[in-house]
Structure 1
Amino acid sequence: MLAFLKLLLSFAPWLSFLIIARDSLLRVEIGLGVALALTVVMGVLRLHRGIILWVGVVFFGAATIAVIGFNDSWTLRHLGVLANGALALGAWLTIALGKPFTLDYAKEHVDPSLWTDPFFIRTNVLMTSVWASAFTINAVLAFGKMKQLLLPELGYELISYAVLIGTAIFTVWYPDHLRKMRTVAR
């Protein structure tokens, strides 16, 4: 349970934005401000790091300037797609660069002697791929919701939440599963 809570904490800026920024322009503006402030504070405190930190700084900074500073309606309309798309792009980029973003968090729980182990790296590529896929799916869902395709708005939101919760549960479960499998194999 502690691992799940730590995982939620690492996504606090994104989750705060998701919860606050709805139903009115004022709430979107407050959500952007809170998310940007949380991203910066968590970065300074090293609670948030790596590409997800920088994606947050760039996305929330640019979106705050566009929405609050320039009253840009296009950005406002596309925030869901842009937020999930930014996370997806950042996650896929870390895989392409050979440094999956989950490594930054996994190293907290693994002996430094294993940090270059091919199994450890492959495990993090898989976990980052699951997150990147979830963000990609949620970008597509946000687009469908924005264009009002196929499902009611609530349907898109419920599926999106299920994808994120499922990915978070997998992230907590999978490393423990691998540890148990390695113990049994010995």
Structure 2
Amino acid sequence: MGILKLLLAFAPWLAFLFIAHGSLLRLKIGLVVALALSVVMGVTRLHRGVILWVGLVFFSFGMLIVFVFQDMWTVRHMGVLASGALALGSWLSVVLLRPFTLDYAKEHTDPSLWNDPVFMRTNMLLTSLWAAVFSLNALLAWGKMSQFMLGEVTYEIASYALLVGMAFFTNWYPAHVRRVQARPRP
């Protein structure tokens, strides 16, 4: 999966990440934009699978809880909840043996390879690593929220570094596996 395709797949979450901080108004705008992007991308088939459904559920419930109930606990914990939702959806897709990266990998892979053990193993690994990154980001969001040991900027940098690093790994690793598979065996 190319970096641009990966960014597109996570566009609702990235929009939410960049918009929804600093004030209640920005959180509300972030939820509306992220839900609208999720719906449009789902309808146009630009986005699909587990991450789409996690986003639709999360942003819908987020809007309900923030707009209707004005629950300040949810507002305060939104970063933890967002990363936690992504982690839960990712881990669930691993447990169900339907790694979320499959939906995107199949777009660039010959259908004859879709059941290949190497293809499946690659997607299980990538999805597991994404799930670990989302889990770590939930912990980092909790640390930032509770002001545990480090400054806010340090938590932000660590979180972004994990996401960017995983995006580059996701782009690099499948090509690496193909190169290794293409090498002649001694």
Class of the TM-score when normalised by the shorter of the 2 chains: over 0.9
Instruction: Name the TM-score, length of structure 2 as normaliser.
Output: 0.97
Paired AA for residue 7 in structure 1: L
| 1:108 alignment counterpart | 107
Instruction: Give a deviation string over 1:116-159, Cα, whole Å, max 9, x none.
Output: 11111111000001100000000000010111001000000000
| 2:163 alignment counterpart | 164
| Alignment map for 1:6-155 (pairs within 5 Å) | 6-155=5-154
Count of residues in Structure 1 that have an aligned counterpart in Structure 2: 185
1:165 CA displacement: 0.2
In structure 1, what is the Cα distance between the partners aligned to 2:184 and 2:172?
Answer: 18
In structure 1, what is the Cα distance between the partners aligned to 2:67 and 2:80?
Answer: 18
Instruction: Give a deviation string over 1:72-100, Cα, whole Å, max 9, x none.
Output: 10110010000000000000000100111
Instruction: Name the TM-score, length of structure 1 as normaliser.
Output: 0.97
1:181 CA displacement: 1.4
In structure 1, what is the Cα distance between the partners aligned to 2:13 and 2:142?
Answer: 18
Gaps of 5+ in 2: none
| 2:3 alignment counterpart | 4
1:59 CA displacement: 0.3
In structure 2, what is the Cα distance between the partners aligned to 1:95 and 1:178?
Answer: 20
In structure 2, what is the Cα distance between the partners aligned to 1:82 and 1:100?
Answer: 21
1:185 CA displacement: 3.1
Gaps of 5+ in 1: none
What is the aligned-residue RMSD (CA, Å)? 1.0
Instruction: Give a deviation string over 1:42-84, Cα, whole Å, max 9, x none.
Output: 0101111111011000000000110112111011001000000
In structure 1, what is the Cα distance between the partners aligned to 2:184 and 2:162?
Answer: 32
